[in-house]
């Protein structure tokens, strides 16, 4: 799946949440944060990675709501850059 704009991304995420998109397609919208066993979407929602390669869609956290210091300290430099880019795009 190729998402060309933020609006298309938002529509695609809505489709997943309403069951119009397969889990495989939805997983493509999430950027892996391998150092912490999670993934993040372009809206700043963080999902826990599951053993099967998918993500847990219930109980997501917004990036600025994560107050676990160990989680932040465990992030790799690459994952910190991903988060920084998303936060900059969201202006947070």
Range of the domain at 39: 30-90
In a domain, 44, yes or no: yes
Mean pLDDT of 10-24: 60
DSSP state string for 38-63: EEE-TTSEEEEEPTTS-EEEEEEEEG
**The model's pTM:** 0.71
In a domain, 8, yes or no: no
In a domain, 42, yes or no: yes
CA angle 11, 90, 45 (to 5 degrees): 60
pLDDT, one tens digit per residue, over 40-74 is 999 999 999 999 888 888 878 999 999 999 999 99
pLDDT, one tens digit per residue, over 71-87 is 999 999 999 999 999 99
Number of structural domains the chain divides into: 1
In a domain, 68, yes or no: yes
- Non-local (6+) Cβ contacts of 90 within 8 A are 43, 44
């Amino acid at each position: 799946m190729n998402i060309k704009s933020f609006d298309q991304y938002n529509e695609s995420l809505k489709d997943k949440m309403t069951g119009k998109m397969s889990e495989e397609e939805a997983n493509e919208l999430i950027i892996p944060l391998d150092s912490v066993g999670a993934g993040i979407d372009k809206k700043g929602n963080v999902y826990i990675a599951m053993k099967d390669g998918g993500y847990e869609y219930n109980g997501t956290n917004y990036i600025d709501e994560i107050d676990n210091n160990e989680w932040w300290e465990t992030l790799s430099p690459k994952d910190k850059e991903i988060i920084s880019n998303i936060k900059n795009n969201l202006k947070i």
